[in-house]
Structure 1
């Protein structure tokens, strides 16, 4: 029998080949915790356990004498694409790192699944490295559909981490490729979605407005996730142009037209976006923001990713602040910082704004004002004109509040 950790890797390979979860293999004979430690190599199996595992797996004990092969990429892809959890993807990552002679099409499919896995986990650096490789494979295959998809996915990830200049060039190329190759509405619309979001982040609002109008026209008559995302993009652009009423109407329409059964994750994300927009309004629409967050929280209990849960906590903290529950807002803010922040650049800036405003309520006026000035300058340097304007407005209002407070104290 193989020694650990090789035995554990062979055991895991046999289990995944049969599509069994750890719970199914453990059964009532051993605990899943013990099985997990066996697979990781942390525990050495007993003779009784080896006999039991061989019986459940339907193999002879000699199957544990062979080192793990890692399996073929096709086999790992089949397991990963049919699994309901991330374990199959993790095995796929291992196999992809081992194989050398596989067709580019299989490599493409593997990289696509793996990039989505890293995106769900908020591992942006790993996601981007995977998408870079995805683009190289797409170029090797010379298929416009795959080149376009690799491009707009990479641009989205770069935008999320604040690399707007590079994201813009890639997004423009993906959109132009979709148009010149006459790609489907889905591919062209997805490329447009990405281009609009990057242009808006770069402060190129006239370009974003023209492209989002093109996008809304492209999906007219549809009531699917792509149409909902088009309306969401239109709302984002109108909001950054200062037209919050029209922006809210776009988002309300998107939420009304998208059934939760079509895409529960997008259904929840729309409500997070609506809550954020209502909280950013002047004055904030607190009741509607609260309703949207309550609906989003219910959905995220079922489909929430780590990133979305952090977005929810951020908005709940902002809501608590607007409702005057400063202690609750501070507790939620501090809870977020107990883990690595997975939020986008813009959401992290908003969290810093909240922290600065909380400092003012806590008597740390000079520190809070200094931080707001720094955030405003940084947003301006990053060409986030609407975000910078929002920060300077908040700073002006904060300075006025501080002045009135000091004047009242003297009186």
Structure 2
């Protein structure tokens, strides 16, 4: 006997794909009521009904008579995993997930993981969060420590991208605890530690982040692969930068960038360069030449093969670079183009920094009240989100922008006073 409701869902999907009504499918040999009950899962199909429907739909009987849905999801997984680079298997994988409610939990975990990775690369963080929540439940039911640790790591990364540090921190701590207690591989411990350090730094907990960086460098870096070491050093550079040790931050960045060549891992290679450029632009004073060099290296690859998210990140960094160089017209053009995009995918931190840039430009353009209001709102939002690092950037930017517009006004007032009789 064929399983329901899987048979009914497959039957309905095949009918709809062909644009056929129930009446068109049943013809003279079956009632629409019977077909409706088959599609809803209320009736089990007989071999004769399967053969008739296969003929009416112009498909092989096996398309309807597969005894379970396990094969369809596994087929979609195999196709997605073996697809050439640049191939989008999202639709087929989603369809297989929806059609196969009886899939093995491990198969469902694998499919959701692949889809969450696609969401992450596209900047679809809300979709990714939903998938990761289900992945965490599946990981618990599978009682697989590696899957539990890796899912919590990615969940913490996703929440950080959304600006939800309150939830990201316990997810990262859970991942690290699992990795340590279960004595998982170095890669799993490093991944959990790296995301926890990033969250701690944004929360303003630099002492804790510094201790974890020391542990990372002392215990884990010697056994790390080049990509793992590069990401760890990049994270360590962020902490050094926030501690005001720009020389160490620069050294960590340079070391990380030299560990990889473009052909080793093009995605990570370009990501490290945009991240290094972002850090260089945040230094005091900004390292403009270094930022320009790294953006020049990453730009052509991102423009040729990057996702829309990576392209937006590149354009945002170019806007910041133009601003620091005093090229305000270029900064305005890039900033407005990004913020007017209905499909802006930047993570919370990058989006907020871009809005800060827009507020500073408004103040410099003479729209002082508008710029002040925008920056104050951003500052309060970052504070409410407990992102103290970002909040400090917002308030400092507001103070700097006001000083820039007030200084010329003060000079004008002094000049007028001196010219009075």
Give the superposition deviation at 1:223.
4.6
Which residue is 1:66 aligned to?
A: 59
Q: Could you tell me how far apart the structure 1 residues matched to 2:184 and 2:17 are?
A: 47
Which residue is 2:126 aligned to?
A: 125
Cα deviation digits, residues 298-354 of structure 1 (max 9, x gap): 221344122211111110111111122111111111111223221111111101110
Instruction: Count matched residues.
Output: 359
Instruction: Give secondary structure in 2 for the equivalent of 1:219.
Output: helix
Give the superposition deviation at 1:360.
1.9
- Shift in CA distance, 3/186, structure 1 to aligned 2, threshold 3 Å: closer
Q: Does the 8 Å CA contact 1:144/1:181 hold for their aligned counterparts?
A: yes
- Shift in CA distance, 3/202, structure 1 to aligned 2, threshold 3 Å: closer
- Shift in CA distance, 80/223, structure 1 to aligned 2, threshold 3 Å: closer
Which residue is 1:57 aligned to?
A: none
Which residue is 1:196 aligned to?
A: 197
Q: Could you tell me how far apart the structure 1 residues matched to 2:151 and 2:399 are?
A: 43
Question: Which entry has the higher C-alpha Rg, 1 or 2?
Answer: 2
Which residue is 1:181 aligned to?
A: 182
Q: Does the 8 Å CA contact 2:241/2:283 hold for their aligned counterparts?
A: no
Give the superposition deviation at 1:268.
0.8
Does residue 82 (structure 1) correspond to residue 85 (structure 2)? The answer is no
Q: Could you tell me how far apart the structure 2 residues matched to 1:235 and 1:190 are?
A: 16
Q: Does the 8 Å CA contact 1:231/1:251 hold for their aligned counterparts?
A: yes
Of residues 173-182 and 189-198 in structure 1, the stretch that sits farther from structure 2 once superposed is: 189-198
Which residue is 2:8 aligned to?
A: none
Q: Could you tell me how far apart the structure 2 residues matched to 1:386 and 1:211 are?
A: 18
What runs of 5+ residues in structure 2 fail to find an aligned partner?
1-12, 21-53, 416-421
- Shift in CA distance, 63/145, structure 1 to aligned 2, threshold 3 Å: farther
Q: Could you tell me how far apart the structure 1 residues matched to 2:171 and 2:392 are?
A: 27
Q: Could you tell me how far apart the structure 2 residues matched to 1:207 and 1:333 are?
A: 35
Q: Could you tell me how far apart the structure 2 residues matched to 1:101 and 1:311 are?
A: 40
Which residue is 1:156 aligned to?
A: 157
Give matches, 1:97-176, under 5 Å: 97-176=98-177
- Shift in CA distance, 401/100, structure 1 to aligned 2, threshold 3 Å: closer
Give matches, 1:42-57, under 5 Å: none
Q: Could you tell me how far apart the structure 2 residues matched to 1:401 and 1:336 are?
A: 25
Which residue is 1:331 aligned to?
A: 333
Q: Could you tell me how far apart the structure 1 residues matched to 2:315 and 2:195 are?
A: 25
* Aligned alpha-carbon RMSD (Å): 2.3
Query: TM-score, length-normalised on structure 2?
Result: 0.80
| Equivalent of residue 361 in structure 1, options 359, 364, 370 | 364
Q: Could you tell me how far apart the structure 1 residues matched to 2:76 and 2:327 are?
A: 50
Does residue 346 (structure 1) correspond to residue 349 (structure 2)? The answer is yes
Which residue is 1:92 aligned to?
A: 93
Give matches, 1:206-355, under 5 Å: 206-217=207-218, 218-220=220-222, 222-337=224-339, 338-355=341-358
Q: Does the 8 Å CA contact 1:353/1:375 hold for their aligned counterparts?
A: yes
Q: Does the 8 Å CA contact 2:109/2:138 hold for their aligned counterparts?
A: yes
Instruction: Give secondary structure in 1 for the equivalent of 2:271.
Output: helix
Give the superposition deviation at 1:203.
2.0
Instruction: Give secondary structure in 2 for the equivalent of 1:343.
Output: coil
Q: Does the 8 Å CA contact 2:364/2:405 hold for their aligned counterparts?
A: no
Q: Could you tell me how far apart the structure 2 residues matched to 1:273 and 1:392 are?
A: 23
Give the superposition deviation at 1:358.
0.8
